Amino acid sequence: MRLTRGLSAALLLGVALTVACATSGRMAPTAVPPRLFFMGHVEGYVEPCGCSEGQLGGVARRAELLRRLRAAPGATLLVDAGNRLIAAGRSGEIQAAALALAAEAAGVAAINLGEDERRLGADFLSRIEPVRRLPWVRANTDPPATGRWPGEVARTVRVGGQEVSITGVSEAAAGVGDPAAAVAEVAAKVARGSRLVVLFQGQVAAADRLARAVGRIDLIVVADGEDHLDAAAHRVGATLVVATGTDGKWLGELPLTPGPLAPEGVQVHVLTEAIPDDPGAAHLVRDYYRRLKEARVLTEAVPRPTVGGSYSGATVCGSCHEDAFALWRESGHAHALTTLTERGKEGAPECVGCHTVGAGFTGGFVDATTTPERGGVQCESCHGVGSNHVDNPTRDYGRADEQTCRRCHTAERSPKFDFSTYWPRIMH
């Protein structure tokens, strides 16, 4: 397998083949095989949060990468192995609509109905028009408690002169039937000479068992949810199995050449900062954050009770800890909410938890309009609620350490975060 961090080498190869065929009068033109692009386990990941350099993924980068890859000769087919939508409530509806519109604009030919979608329920999926009209496939999903699942058991498409049947299943669990039996039923109806692609949500080992049980499968694309930047491509008999990783950080590519598909043909295109945002998809992302803010989704959640007192705010802390307060006031932590506001993200649930104090808890941040005084990463973000300490100051209150920092400075949000470098800048 080859790992690329930008445009595929297949683009140059395709151009070279075209030139070679055109300049040789003794050679018949060689048909370029169609290419299948695959992804999965996006899990609500609209774009990198932007809090650090080096973050991967995002619908706008993916749209631009697809545009570039499709500029090469030959037909293409895009599939999604599922687990795209995760959030419920009004914010979840807005996010689901944005991700559905992005998938539709990308030209996805089939998307598996995964565990995350089943958890949201048929009624949720069906009432959001962009979600409802996506080309869902679902061969082993049990009937829902209410409503009807969108989509169909399988879809058949033609790409580059090939007929490809695509179905979707999930690993055996509550709410789904036996994936092997479901795929075998689909396989029995696939025309001779057609390819069978299975979009699978679950573990790679379970997909391998499926490949052994149903030998008719050409390709299994697994939404495995593991954090890796390779497709883990391997063969089980005549079946090629590939995995998608998590958060849509990369896009897989595979030429649909004659005969059994080979692991060596799989390429991975990592969605790095070197790939600019597609303007249309970037507009969709901005509209997503605008809709979250206008709907004031942050005010809908019922706050959880605090433990160990209540929030006092940085100003109260500063009345005793003047030096620490002065250091904090000049830090990036103090202006964390402003950072969101400048980017139009102050209404996004996925952002405010690490840019404010007490978001989601009683007495903490609600939204920028209701509780502006709780904006920024304040003292109690790291040390815990402070009212009991204000009433009875003790030295053992709220000691912060590396684990405290890593609640927000995760490998995903801050891939270059180094505790030994940053701690001295805020130590007090």
Residues 31-80 have pLDDT tens digits of 899 999 999 999 999 998 888 888 899 999 999 999 999 999 999 999 99
Given this model, what pLDDT does residue 53 score? Answer: 82
Is 109 in the same domain as 162?
Answer: yes
**The CATH number of the domain where 417 resides is what?**
1.10.1130.10
pLDDT tier for residue 30 given thresholds of 50, 70 and 90: low
Given this model, what pLDDT does residue 89 score? Answer: 92
Let me know if 310 is exposed, middle or buried by CB neighbors in 10 A (0-12, 13-18, 19+).
Answer: middle
Q: Average pLDDT, stretch 243-255?
A: 97
Is 210 in the same domain as 273?
Answer: yes
Residue 169 lies in a domain: yes
Is 276 in the same domain as 346?
Answer: no
Q: Average pLDDT, stretch 130-139?
A: 97
Residue 382 lies in a domain: yes
At 424, phi and psi to the nearest 5?
A: -60, -25
**The CATH number of the domain where 232 resides is what?**
3.60.21.10
Given this model, what pLDDT does residue 22 score? Answer: 38
Is 229 in the same domain as 325?
Answer: no
At 333, phi and psi to the nearest 5?
A: -55, -45
Is 270 in the same domain as 311?
Answer: no
Residue with the bigger pLDDT between 111 and 413: it is 111
Residues 278-316 have pLDDT tens digits of 999 999 999 999 999 999 999 988 899 998 899 999 999
The percentage of the chain sitting over the pLDDT mark of 90, rounded to a whole number, equals 75
pLDDT tier for residue 23 given thresholds of 50, 70 and 90: very low
Residue where a domain stops, chosen among 286, 313, 331:
286
At 200, phi and psi to the nearest 5?
A: -125, 130
Residue 292 lies in a domain: no
pLDDT tier for residue 144 given thresholds of 50, 70 and 90: very high
Residue 296 lies in a domain: no
Residue where a domain stops, chosen among 234, 251, 286:
286
Residue 192 lies in a domain: yes
Contact between 176 and 142 under an 8 Å Cβ cutoff? The reply is: yes
In degrees, to the nearest 5, what angle opens at C-alpha 313 toward C-alphas 309 and 318? 115
Residues 73-112 have pLDDT tens digits of 999 999 999 999 999 999 999 999 999 999 999 999 999 9
In degrees, to the nearest 5, what angle opens at C-alpha 89 toward C-alphas 367 and 56? 75
Q: Average pLDDT, stretch 120-137?
A: 96
- Full domain range(s) for residue 331: 301-426
Is 129 in the same domain as 214?
Answer: yes
Measured CA to CA in angstroms, residue 64 lies from 57, 71, 305 at distances of: 12, 11, 44
Residue 426 has pLDDT above 90, yes or no: no
The percentage of the chain sitting over the pLDDT mark of 70, rounded to a whole number, equals 93
Given this model, what pLDDT does residue 18 score? Answer: 40
Given this model, what pLDDT does residue 13 score? Answer: 37
Given this model, what pLDDT does residue 199 score? Answer: 98
Residue 176 lies in a domain: yes
Residue where a domain stops, chosen among 286, 315, 349:
286
Is 281 in the same domain as 319?
Answer: no
Let me know if 70 is exposed, middle or buried by CB neighbors in 10 A (0-12, 13-18, 19+).
Answer: middle
Is 100 in the same domain as 54?
Answer: yes
Is 114 in the same domain as 191?
Answer: yes
Residues 346-402 have pLDDT tens digits of 999 999 999 999 999 999 999 999 999 999 999 999 999 989 999 988 877 888 888
Residue 294 lies in a domain: no
Residues 190-237 have pLDDT tens digits of 998 899 999 999 999 999 999 999 999 999 999 999 999 999 999 999
Given this model, what pLDDT does residue 116 score? Answer: 94
What total of structural domains would you count in the chain? Answer: 2
Residue with the bigger pLDDT between 404 and 69: it is 69
Residue 208 lies in a domain: yes
Q: Average pLDDT, stretch 181-198?
A: 95
Given this model, what pLDDT does residue 395 score? Answer: 77
Is 237 in the same domain as 107?
Answer: yes
Residue with the bigger pLDDT between 22 and 399: it is 399
Is 124 in the same domain as 78?
Answer: yes
Is 85 in the same domain as 117?
Answer: yes
